[in-house]
Structure 1
Amino acid sequence: MSLLNAPPTSRPRTAARILLGGILVFAGVSHLTFAREEFVAQVPDWFPISDAPVVLVSGVVEISLGAALVAFGRGRISVGLLAAAFFIAIFPGNIAQYLEHTDAFGLDTDRKRFVRLFFQPVLVAWALWATGAWRDRPRR
């Protein structure tokens, strides 16, 4: 069995789903506690909502998605699609951080901020693969 052909509930996919869930819970908690200022710095200037509520809401969303990824084996497909959508929704903020030369989380050069952009599609693919969402989506 290769990783790409793994059944939707295989051990590698389950481990990847739980790991991603843990990472999201950690990131969400950091939004609400010790890294709040770093996240506030990443909210684009053009975003129509003030920085603090955006960081708080995104932290709660990350905690919720992470907990759901860990807890919901049966609803994994829906949660995987939601997690992928979340990663896509926050991608413009990552682009803005690059274009606006915003330093945060050690991303203090344009090169580092540019390289980071390539990790967002990895997160989308991870969420879809780990939950079997891409493989098991309803066929129409």
Structure 2
Amino acid sequence: MTEAPRDDRRRAVMRWLMAEFYAAAGIAHLAIPEPFLRITPSFVPFAPQVILLTGICELAGAAALVTTPMRRWAGIGLAAYAICVWPANFKHAFEAIDLPLLGSSWLYHGPRLAFQPVLVWWALYSAGIIDWPWRRPPDHVK
């Protein structure tokens, strides 16, 4: 088996998992915005409209990630999105805002904050923008 087909399958699985995750998050932002409003930093203007827009962006990003012509832009957009919403995760953690199903435990917040850079990488890898860490070295380097 060559590396390319395995890599294609790996990316496809990761792409679909990420799309499902962002689609679910987008639906949650639109259906139940109140928990997201509670963790939105105070410096964010027009918070209800921003929550609505983030839900739409998550749904659009999920759909575009699994659509070949838009995949690259979706990866870049979802990576940027993950960085932009990180302040809400910090507020959720440091202000100990208790949300249904999540609570305010550092057993949740510690891994959640540490995982945000992984979401950035995941979006970029799934979209085919980066190869690390699974890129094979050239034959002359082995």
TM-score range, shorter chain: 0.7 to 0.9
Aligned to 1:126: 122
- 2:136: which partner in 1? none
Aligned-partner Cα distance in 2 for 1:82–1:8: 25
Against the structure 1 CA distance between its residues 101 and 119, is the aligned structure 2 distance closer, same or farther, given a 3 Å change threshold? same
The residue type equivalent to 1:28 in the other structure is G
Provide the rounded CA distance (Å) in 2 between the counterparts of 1:20 and 1:124: 11
1:138 is matched with none
Instruction: Give the number of equivalent residue pairs.
Output: 131
For 1:47, what is the secondary structure of its paired residue? coil
Identity percentage of aligned residues: 35
Higher RCO (C-alpha 8 Å, min separation 6): 1
**Tell me, which stretches of 5 or more residues in structure 2 are unaligned?**
132-142
The 3-state SS of whatever aligns with 2:45 is coil
Residue pair 1:77, 1:132 contacting (<8 A) in 2 also: yes
Q: 2:53 maps to what in 1?
A: 57
Amino acid in the other structure paired with 1:22: E
Length-normalised TM-score, structure 2: 0.79
Q: Which moved more, 1:51-60 or 1:106-115?
A: 106-115
Instruction: Kindly indicate whether the alpha-carbon contact (under 8 Å) linking 2:29 and 2:51 is maintained by their aligned counterparts in 1.
Output: yes
1:107 aligns with 2:102: yes
Counterpart position of 1:41: 38
Letter in 1 for 2:64: A
TM-score (structure 1 length as normaliser): 0.80
Instruction: State whether residues 22 and 67 of structure 1, in contact with CA within 8 Å, keep that contact through their aligned partners in structure 2.
Output: no
C-alpha spacing 1:48/1:79, structure 2 compared with 1 (3 Å): closer
Alpha-carbon distance in structure 1 between the residues aligned to 2:81 and 2:88: 12
Deviation at 1:114, TM superposition (A): 2.6
Residue 80, structure 1, aligned to residue 79, structure 2: no
Deviation at 1:82, TM superposition (A): 1.3
1:3-44 Cα distance to aligned partner (Å, 9 max, x none): xx65697011012112211221121011111x3222121212
